[in-house]
Amino acid sequence: MYDYVIIGAGIIGTTIARELSKYPLKILVLEKENDIANHQTTANSAIIHSGHDPKPGTLKAKLCVRGNMLYIALEKELSIPLLKTGAFVVAHDQSEEQMLMQLKNRATINGVHDAHLLSGDEARLQEPNLTKKATMVLSLPSTMVTYPWEVAMAALENAITNGVSFEKNSEVVAIHPEESDFSIVLKSGKIIKTHHIISASGILSDHIAAMLERDVPYTIHPRKGEYYVLDRKAKHLFSHVLYPLPTEKGKGVLIVPQVHGNILLGPTSTPVESKDTASTTPQGMAQIREDLKRLADSIPFELIIRSFAGIRASSSYDDFYIQESKEVKGFYHVAGIDSPGLTAAPAIAEYLVQEVLKISVSKKEQFNPIRKKQKAFYSLSPEDRKALIKTDPRYGNIICKCEKITEAEIVSAIHGVTGNDTIKGIKKRARAGGGLCQGGYCESLVLKIIARETGKPLNSINYYAENTPILVVETKVKK
């Protein structure tokens, strides 16, 4: 019997798991996919927003500003990457300048006290490739960028170190309330008993809630965002996050420097029917190119290395919905977590535990907040690299030539605390395949290493989700 079962291992479920692991409780995280954070948490803009934009007084405003602050501590505790870029919101004429001043007031009300206005020329001194059409910007120095997927992994690893259990490939298909507990039924048929349930199931929150509630207090309306990624050769072109003025559809198409040196361009914001498919479209790609003209006069589109899309779990509730169910005691919604959910995640976890769950037991004395991460082999000094190769010769075998990732790093991604045996799982953990050729060279080598390390046949190794093998049949059989 668990005290709390958390459904969903995105950034919200994993940060809640870490927050709860500070208490002497029995906690389990269930994830339907074969890896953590495969949905919204893996496909977003990666911005730790300052909190300038949400409507004052909302949970989005309060938890965004608090979350931004908490990331500073998380950077050290969890060894997560955090790029302190700052941001500019760009205005082009007098009427937009008026809107920018209103946005600055909103930022101040929300508690973003370092927000300030700059003339276009002042901004171009700091960001030379900002469009010449910019007449004024709102500067937001506390804006940062992270690697969202790694934050979720780090939070879960740390939660596991502190006693939390995690089961992947564990889709919740039914929940039965019993006298004072719940029975959770998984797709495999397994039944799990718990006193409380926290639903952090993203785009499927309304689906999970409907397993228990007659009147779910919100519906989720998926909204797709499409992106281009520029190669690291574009790294020197932009150092700030660049936003246009926000509209009712969201923050608009942005320019976002990434922690690994790439530049992200997007996202669009299109309502979609399907909660499953996040593919890019010619219309979305064309819209990005058009909208970017508001931010920069020239973008090197020839440096695009890939495109992708993510689906926001926007809800009819118009704010984060973080409450105990009004119908079923012991069932907690953490729903409608669209942007700025990545930023707010650590504050959402803190708010849930302190204000909603109101945990009454004292914190564990032995909670260990630290998750250590080994530095990338290539970032080490030549002496340190030589020393590592001496201890493990697999450090001397470069598998991903673009990102200079070694065989030893791939092996450790397979066998880590939250290790994984898919091509994309290794790309996310070790960055093998994350460079210019996008795995064209190293994918087959990674595949062989996964097969060797797991003892599985080559044609059973998945690219991403279950049943996505990239080798199907042998075409050249040696006689």
Nearer to ligand FAD, 392 or 466 (CB): 466
Site string for ligand FAD, 387-426 (x = CB under 6 A): ----------------------------------------
Angle between helices 443-454 and 407-415 (to 10 degrees): 50
Scanning residues 302 to 331, which ones bind ligand FAD (CB under 6 A)?
A: 310-312
Query: CB 298 → ligand FAD: shortest distance, Å?
Result: 24
- 174: Cβ contacts below 8 Å, ≥ 6 apart: 184, 185, 211
Nearer to ligand FAD, 146 or 406 (CB): 146
8 A C-beta contact, residue 334 and residue 203: no
Give catalytic status of residue 49 as yes or no: yes
Among the listed residues 342, 400, 408, 426, the single contact to ligand FAD using CB under 6 A: 342
For residue 159, which amino acid is it?
Answer: A
Does residue 94 sit in helix, strand or coil?
A: helix
Query: CB 451 → ligand FAD: shortest distance, Å?
Result: 26
Nearer to ligand FAD, 206 or 443 (CB): 206
The answer to whether 44 contacts ligand FAD (rule: CB under 6 A) is yes
Among the listed residues 17, 25, 30, 153, the single contact to ligand FAD using CB under 6 A: 30
Q: What does each C-alpha distance from 294 to 129, 245, 322 come to in angstroms?
A: 12, 10, 36
The answer to whether 37 contacts ligand FAD (rule: CB under 6 A) is yes
For residues 275 and 224, give the distance between their C-alpha atoms in angstroms, rounded to a whole number: 9
Nearest to ligand FAD by Cβ — which residue?
A: 341
Q: Which of 39, 49, 52, 240 is catalytic?
A: 49
Q: Among candidates 146, 164, 9, which has minimal Cα distance to 78?
A: 146
Query: CB 477 → ligand FAD: shortest distance, Å?
Result: 38
The answer to whether 6 contacts ligand FAD (rule: CB under 6 A) is no
For residues 43 and 149, give the distance between their C-alpha atoms in angstroms, rounded to a whole number: 9
Ranges of beta strands (E only) in 214-261 are 220-230, 241-243, 254-257
8 A C-beta contact, residue 90 and residue 43: no
Total H helices, total E strands in the chain: 12, 22
Among the listed residues 4, 8, 68, 285, the single contact to ligand FAD using CB under 6 A: 8
For residue 167 the two structure tokens come to: 């089961």
Query: CB 91 → ligand FAD: shortest distance, Å?
Result: 21
The answer to whether 336 contacts ligand FAD (rule: CB under 6 A) is no
Query: CB 341 → ligand FAD: shortest distance, Å?
Result: 2
472 Cα distance to chain centroid: 31
Does residue 464 sit in helix, strand or coil?
A: coil
Catalytic site residues? 49
Q: What is the binding site for ligand FAD (CB under 6 A)?
A: 7-13, 30-33, 37-41, 43-47, 49, 171-172, 200-204, 208, 225, 267, 310-312, 337-343
